[in-house]
């Protein structure tokens, strides 16, 4: 699959990747990928599920795609003009989309929510249903309150892109050039991976407190052991130009990355 944009799995034998050409591919972990038919050929920007029988895709059109894991995808059609860059949930009854901020309890109905009136939401992630964050496109990090409202803080970064974490006390946000880490206490410590002059980070994903990965436009995966030091691993020889758009896995010995030239499986040292 070329033009890969997102990857997610429920376990080692159930992995999905999606692409910019409307491609959906599925693997049972045996190295083979099977194409599944999408309801439309719009760009697919993200995939997430609560389990093998509850999987969502965010397309660049006014619908969310949903599957029960049987290889068939249905459209949950929404307001004309809405398009989506990503989807994330804390569970089957607690699902969010962005940058059109919608919320679903898993019944096929999506309700608009207001996270910010001034910023575009770039990413949503949480450690649980009661600990959910949203990253604004300017300089604000929003946290969901117990009453359903959102409070913002400005940690001082510029143009945050993506957020992940391994727990409520192990949080990461990236900009194009920097990583910021927090213990969940509201303070953020900058970290500076070694990047090429024209290389930017694209996503970050935390497997555990000692294994966090960032992807780059330079065809690389960066890994941190939780100590603030980032080690770069190139997927292919340096004369190959491509972007890594996402990473997911079950352990450091079983990682998948999706790039704009295909999906790769391997080990990150």
How is residue 188 written in tokens?
A: 């953020």
For the chain, the maximum distance between any two Cα atoms, rounded to a whole number of angstroms, is 52
The closest of 101, 167, 87, 168 to 136, measured between CA atoms, is 101
**DSSP assignments along 34-76, one per residue:** EEE--SS-S-EEEEEEEETTEEEEEESSSEEEEE-SSS--EEE
Which domains are assigned to the chain?
A: 1-113 (2.130.10.10)
- CA–CA separation, 253 vs 203, rounded Å? 20
Rounded to two decimals, the pTM is 0.94
What share of the chain in percent tops pLDDT 90? Answer: 85
Distance from C-alpha of 264 to C-alpha of 130, rounded to nearest angstrom:
34
pLDDT computed for residue 123 by the predictor: 96
pLDDT of 197 above 90: no
Q: How confident is the model at residue 236 (pLDDT cuts 50, 70, 90)?
A: confident
pLDDT in tens, 45-61: 999 999 999 999 999 99
Mean pLDDT of 180-200: 93
- Tell me the C-alpha to C-alpha distance, in Å, between residue 19 and each of 86, 101, 164, 245, 268: 13, 22, 21, 10, 23
d(CA 99, CA 70): 28
């Amino acid at each position: 699959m070329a033009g890969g944009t997102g990857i997610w799995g429920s376990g080692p034998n159930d992995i999905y990747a999606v692409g910019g050409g409307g491609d959906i591919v599925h693997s049972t972990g045996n190295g083979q990928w099977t194409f599944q038919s999408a309801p439309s050929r719009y760009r697919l920007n993200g995939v997430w599920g609560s389990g093998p029988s509850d999987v969502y895709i965010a397309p660049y059109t006014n619908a969310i795609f949903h599957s029960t894991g049987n290889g068939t995808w249905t459209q949950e059609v929404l307001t004309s003009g809405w398009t989506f860059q990503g989807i994330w949930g804390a569970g089957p009854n607690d699902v969010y989309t962005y940058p059109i901020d919608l919320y679903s309890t898993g019944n096929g109905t999506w309700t608009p929510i207001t996270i910010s009136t001034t910023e575009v939401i770039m990413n949503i992630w949480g450690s649980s249903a009661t600990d959910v964050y949203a990253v604004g496109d300017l300089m604000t990090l929003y946290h969901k309150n117990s009453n359903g409202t959102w409070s913002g803080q400005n940690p001082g970064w510029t143009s945050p892109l993506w957020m992940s974490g391994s727990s409520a006390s192990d949080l990461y946000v990236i900009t194009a050039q920097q990583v910021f880490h927090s213990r969940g206490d509201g303070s953020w410590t900058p970290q500076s991976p070694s990047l090429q002059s024209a290389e930017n980070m694209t996503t970050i994903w935390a497997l555990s407190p000692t294994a966090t990965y960032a992807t780059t436009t330079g065809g690389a995966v960066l890994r941190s052991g939780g100590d603030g030091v980032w080690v770069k691993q190139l997927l292919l020889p340096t004369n190959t130009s491509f972007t890594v758009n996402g990473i997911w896995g079950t352990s450091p010995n079983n990682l998948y990355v999706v790039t704009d030239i295909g999906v790769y499986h391997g080990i990150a040292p």
